[in-house]
Amino acid sequence: MKRKILAALLASTMVLSLVGCGGGSAETPAAPAADSGAATEEAAPAADSGDAAAEGAPAADASAAGGEETLTVWCWDPAFNLNAMYEAEKVYQKDHPNFKLNVVETPWDDIQTKVTTAATSGDLSTLPDIFLMQDNAFQKNVLAFPDVCMDLTNSGIDYSQFAAGKTAYSVIDGKNYGVPFDNGAVVACYRTDILEQAGLTIDDFTDITFDQYLENGKKVLEATGKPLISMQAGECDLIMMMLQSAGASLFNEDGTANITGNDTLRIVMETYKSLKDAGVLTEVNSWDEYVGDFVSGNVAGTINGCWIMASIQTAEDQKGNWAITNMPSLVGAANATNYSNNGGSSWAVTTKCANPDLACDFLKSTFAGSTELYDNILPSGALATWAPAGDSDAYATPNEFFGGDAVSAKIVDFATKVPTNITGAYYYEARNAVATAITNYINGADLESELQTAEQTINFNMQ
């Protein structure tokens, strides 16, 4: 009897593992090749330096793959990034008929989890050939996992054609690790119909300072009862945008925290608090609420990366009532400008990639070399940071939602004027520390002691 039950258990385990393996191998034709043994061998030489791998590996691998040119890509957002990859595939296939992409939709958080897991456990075989990385996470990932991303400095990509403020995100120790993709240039968006009630126009918000912004905001508040802008509490998006607009960062060149000695940061914090105290800026709890505020007209506008315009346009009934311009500049800060950046992402090639030449050539001929691609993806809202794309006629097309303005060309122009700043590997830690400081400062705490605490927290994290 005992034996019977054991046999039954064994049998069921076997059936299950068969189901498991059967399912797995049927669904993943690439599975045998992805065996850990082969993969680590590939990863090991590539780990020392991207160049060595680029020269050594491809020939052998290309023949092994039987001339098939397939690349696996991880990225998120079907309407945006996935669409861009599919269009890039079409563009590249014109010259390379055998070329194929295997795009796996993976949210950014999941990409980060998978990359971290794979890199920490020392098994890179599960990674794709190319993945999309948030610009803010680039420094961190290259520092923590130097084996994951390939050095693309000598890949033949002409980085001078990208906006400098954008490329800087993926440059570590003078080496390029990413191909810049979508534009995060900051736009200030306003409901012109609401401004009108306060006797203001979009021109009153163009090339202004935050002092003027505050005065205008008070007028709007008086006339309509609506704040100019809402921001997520505890996420210091606006703080970071203000900082970068004056070319300032939370870190010094040498990577040390730059908080207590940072006069620009002090101005930013005071500006933010004055907006909040006047009621011109209101804080909300979540992203949904933030979007809900401008979609349903609870606020007169917003300031964010240009990708926010896609969310604004979901409010179809407000067509023609929106306009965009540049953001206000800081008063009293050295190098203050009306331009900044928030968000955006870049493509990274992994060292696991079996055919790095193909991956580089693909990116070079598409995202770093095809106006056709950028024209094709423009309708989805994907704006280039690659300068030649901005000269295309498609970018001069007026957008009726934004009052017939040629918004695309405008944003590409903004992007070229964004000051470069330092992200820092400990970007997220610093951001959280500053968010804590601004929260306490708004609630009445002393600015100097909050900044000191923030610097201590960051230094503690960097130990």
Partner 1 sequence: MSKPKKMTLSKKQNLMGWVFLLPGALLIFIMSFVPMFRALLLSFKSGVGANMKWSGISNYIRMFQDTVFVQSVKNTFFYLIIQVPVMLILALILASILNNKDLKFKGLFRTMIFLPCATSLVAYAIIFRSLFANNGLINLLFVKLGILDQPYAFLTNTTSARIVIIIALLWRWTGYNMVFYLSGLQNIEYSVYEAAKIDGASAVQSFFKITVPLLKPTILLTAIMSTNGTLQLFDESVNLTKGGPANTSITMSHYIYDMSFKYVPNFGYAAAMSFLILILVAVLAFLQMKVGDKRD
Partner 2 sequence: MYLFLIIVSFISVFPLYWMVSAATNKSAEVISGRLIPGTYFFENWKNLMAAQNVGRAFGNSFKYAVILTIVSLLVSSLAGYGFEIFHDKGKDILMSIILLAMMVPFVATMIPLFQMFSKAGWLNTTIGFILPTISTPFLIMMFRQSARSFPHDIMEAARIDGLSEIRIFFQMFIPTMRSTYAAAMTITFMNAWNSYLWPKVIMTDATSQTMPMVVANLTEGYVTDYGMLMLAVLICTLPTAIVFFCLQNAFAEGITGAVK
Could you list the residues that contact partner 2 (CB under 8 A)? Answer: 1-2, 4-5, 12, 16-17, 19-21, 23-24, 27-28, 31, 35-36, 76-80, 102-110, 113-114, 117-118, 120-123, 125-126, 128, 288, 291-292, 295-296, 307-308, 310-311, 314-316, 381
Question: Which does residue 381 touch among partner 2, partner 1, none (CB within 5 to 8 A, set by kind)?
Answer: partner 2
User: Closest approach of Cβ 134 to partner 2, in Å?
Assistant: 11
Measured in residues, the chain has a length of 463
Find which of partner 2, partner 1, none residue 93 binds, CB within 5 to 8 Å per kind.
none
The one of partner 1, partner 2, none whose footprint includes residue 459, by CB under 5 to 8 A per kind, is: none
The set of residues, in sequence order, having a beta carbon less than 8 Å from that of 339 and lying 6+ positions away, is 185, 186, 245, 326, 327, 414, 417, 418, 419
- On the 0-12 / 13-18 / 19+ scale of CB atoms within 10 A, 408 is buried
| Least distance to partner 1, CB of residue 180, Å | 23
Given 54, 425, 451, 455, the residue binding partner 1 (CB under 8 A): 425
Residue 19 binding target from partner 1, partner 2, none, CB below 5 to 8 Å by type = partner 2
CB-wise, 41 or 109, nearer to partner 2? 109
Does 86 engage in binding with partner 1 (CB under 8 A)? no
Minimum distance from CB of 151 to partner 1 (Å)? 17
Sign of the CA dihedral running 146, 147, 151, 152: negative
Judged by beta carbon, residue 31 or residue 406, the one nearer partner 2 is 31
Write b or e for each residue in 345-367: b if 16 or more Cβ atoms lie within 10 A of its Cβ, otherwise e: bbbbbbbbbbbbbbbbbbbbbbb
Name residues contacting partner 1, limited to 7-46 (CB under 8 A). Answer: 9
Q: Would you count residue 335 as binding partner 1 (CB under 8 A)?
A: no
126, 282, 399, 416: residue in contact with partner 1 (rule CB under 8 A): 282
Nearer to partner 1, 175 or 417 (CB): 175
Verify binding: residue 281, partner 1, rule CB under 8 A: no
Interface of this chain with partner 1, residues 92 to 131, rule: CB under 8 A: 109, 112-113, 116, 119-120, 122
Q: Name the residue nearer to partner 2 (CB basis): 134 or 249.
A: 134
Asked if 54 and 153 count as a contact pair (C-beta separation under 8 A), the reply is no
Q: How far is the CB of 48 from partner 1 (least distance, A)?
A: 15
At its nearest, how many Å lie between partner 1 and the CB of residue 320?
A: 25
Which residue type is seen at 212?
Answer: Q
For residue 341, which of 323, 327, 325 has the smallest C-alpha distance? 327
**How many residues sit in the footprint of partner 1 (CB under 8 A)?**
42
Chain residues that interact with partner 1, rule: CB under 8 A: 2, 5, 9, 109, 112-113, 116, 119-120, 122, 140, 143-147, 233-235, 282-286, 288-289, 292, 298, 425-426, 428-429, 432, 435-436, 439-440, 443, 457, 460-461, 463
